Amino acid sequence: MEGREEGKSTWEHHFPTLKHLRKKEVFEEFLNLASRGMVKESLLKSVEGEEGVFLEALKWKIALDYRVKGLFPSPPSKRDLLLLRRKKIYRSLEYLLTAQDLKGLAEEIPLIESVELRSSGRREGEKIIKYLENNPPHDPFLLADAELSMLRFFKAVQPERVYPETDHILEWREDRYHFPLLAVEAAEACLLKDSPDEAIKLTEEGLRTAKAAENHWMVGNLLIIQAEALREVGKTADAEDSLKRAAISFGKAGQRLAEALSTLELSLLYLREGRLEESKRALKRARKGVKKYGGLEEKALLTATEVLYIFRGDFSKRKKKKTLLSAIERYPFREYRRAYNILWEAVEGEEWLKEDPETSMLFERGVEITISRRVVEMIKENAKVAYPNEFGALLHGYPHISSLEPIVDSARGRRSFMFSMWYRFSGKALVADGMVHSHPSGVARPSRADLYMFGKFRVNLIIGYPFTDDSIAAYDSMGNRIDFKIVED
């Protein structure tokens, strides 16, 4: 992009359809603003007459791309589209709106409870994908948009179809509008596939483009994903730096809630590192923004982090219990997986809370999960033998886990188990009640790849280094922390 003059030459190269518009300078300015992440400013642009329909379609696209569609106008009506059927821009307009339909399905299908309706939505998505692939336009801009739509659809609805490799995403580096968005989606897909190193590479490429375009919003998003990937490969100091930079970038973009949530992530990182004073300061900075701009879920996450801080600090049992009870009374934590699991992290090892009738509700389950002592010893032994690589197995028996079935040779590499699970079993039915795998890092919290595979089983175990009874954590199919008991055979 660097050698091209911003404006006409740049956008007509990527978006040739613009040459058919009389007011193309308005569209160029609109796209320049959008490429800088100035979404609200770009959506204030307007054009009268038939060209206004095309602008409304682009506004709808940008609102979907940045997930702010609830704040702005709907897409053009069918009646408006019919008026343009004989215009040269019509085919591009039709392709553009069809790609947005796929993005809409990607957002809606995961929220549908009916299996039949979800299947119907997937079939509709397949039809749209077939249309996009069989009717490619001449505009690189529209092709990049179709790539973004399909990646979002597969990642949200059919994760097993996310591309095995994401190098082809780099082909769009010249598109300063789409490439940061594509890098975000592709990097998240890499985390889903348990490929954090690839995610780091993609975020670095995306950051170069986003920074050159001065798109602080996308810089922040890319840094958040980069921090997650860095934590997964054990580079905590680098993850800390990425979170700090993300908060600064979101602040420059005017994204106050995102700025506060980035700082909240930083506070969590400090807590898990035992850096309580730094965590306290970050928590104080995050609190104001979350309380002012956040919804119920964000406030529950803030409260859970505050509970974790109290439980990690040198506070009395009375203070801990009071803080926990206040949190449970204020928020429906079971509805918010991440906040709920942070509460579990806080009360880990606090057995006295299970005996207290006022706080035992946090540990209540409809079904009591038990694990054979023989199975637990096999899990610990296999995890130790595999170290520093991962060990994994399928579990049989529910609610009493009575046997396990190793399914992968751990000698293939540190991340081999979830990598193998993804490529061998994603999209397929597995004859097992549960799954167990080790985390050589010692952290028994699930990654994105773990959470996806969890959905295939009724119970999921993670055993962290040093591979003892106390380093085993159990999760249900939704990724929520659950209690379990080890019973003698």
Residue bearing tokens 């996009």: 132
Which CATH fold topology does 369-487 show? Cytidine Deaminase; domain 2 (3.40.140)
pTM check: above 0.75: yes
How does DSSP classify residue 18? G
How does pLDDT run across 426-453, given as a tens digit for each residue?
555 567 899 999 998 888 888 888 888 8
Q: Taking each helix axis as running N to C, give the angle between helix 196-212 and helix 216-232, from 0 to 180 degrees, rounded to the nearest 10.
A: 160
Look at residue 2 in the predicted model and tell me its pLDDT: 41
Look at residue 422 in the predicted model and tell me its pLDDT: 54
What secondary structure does DSSP assign to 367-405, as a single string?
S-EEEEHHHHHHHHHHHHHHTTS--EEEEE-SSEE-EEE
Look at residue 129 in the predicted model and tell me its pLDDT: 96
176 versus 3: which is more confidently predicted?
176
335 contact partners, CB below 8 Å, separation of at least 6 = 297
Residue bearing tokens 């091209």: 4
pLDDT, the chain, mean = 88
Coil, strand, or helix at residue 57? helix
Q: Is the pLDDT of residue 254 over 60?
A: yes
* Among candidate residues 262, 225, 253, 259, the one with its CA nearest the CA of residue 37: 253
Look at residue 57 in the predicted model and tell me its pLDDT: 94
Please say whether the dihedral angle defined by the alpha carbons of residues 394, 398, 400 and 402, taken in this order, is positive or negative: negative
Answer yes or no: are the C-beta atoms of 207 and 223 closer than 8 Å: yes
- What are 421's two structure tokens? 């699970």
Distance of alpha carbon 368 from alpha carbon 349, whole angstroms: 18
Distance of alpha carbon 455 from alpha carbon 267, whole angstroms: 29
Q: Could you tell me the CA-to-CA distances from 437 to 410, 462, 481 in Å, in that order?
A: 10, 5, 15
Q: Is the pLDDT of residue 5 over 90?
A: no
Distance of alpha carbon 316 from alpha carbon 25, whole angstroms: 65
Q: What percent of the chain has pLDDT over 70?
A: 90
Look at residue 366 in the predicted model and tell me its pLDDT: 62
Distance of alpha carbon 245 from alpha carbon 249, whole angstroms: 6
Q: What is the mean pLDDT of residues 412-427?
A: 53
Q: Is the pLDDT of residue 454 over 50?
A: yes
Residue extents of the structural domains in the chain: 8-161, 267-363, 369-487
Look at residue 413 in the predicted model and tell me its pLDDT: 47
Look at residue 226 in the predicted model and tell me its pLDDT: 98
Q: How many CB atoms lie within 10 A of CB 38?
A: 18
Q: Is the pLDDT of residue 374 over 70?
A: yes
Look at residue 365 in the predicted model and tell me its pLDDT: 60
How does pLDDT run across 200-247, given as a tens digit for each residue?
999 999 999 999 999 999 999 999 999 999 999 999 999 999 999 999
5 versus 196: which is more confidently predicted?
196
Look at residue 238 in the predicted model and tell me its pLDDT: 98
Distance of alpha carbon 451 from alpha carbon 403, whole angstroms: 22
- What are 226's two structure tokens? 């980069």
Look up residue 124 and give its amino acid.
Answer: E
Q: Where are the alpha helices (DSSP H) in 158-294?
A: 178-192, 196-212, 216-232, 236-253, 256-272, 276-293
Pairing of strands 472-475, 481-482: antiparallel
- What are 259's two structure tokens? 């700025």
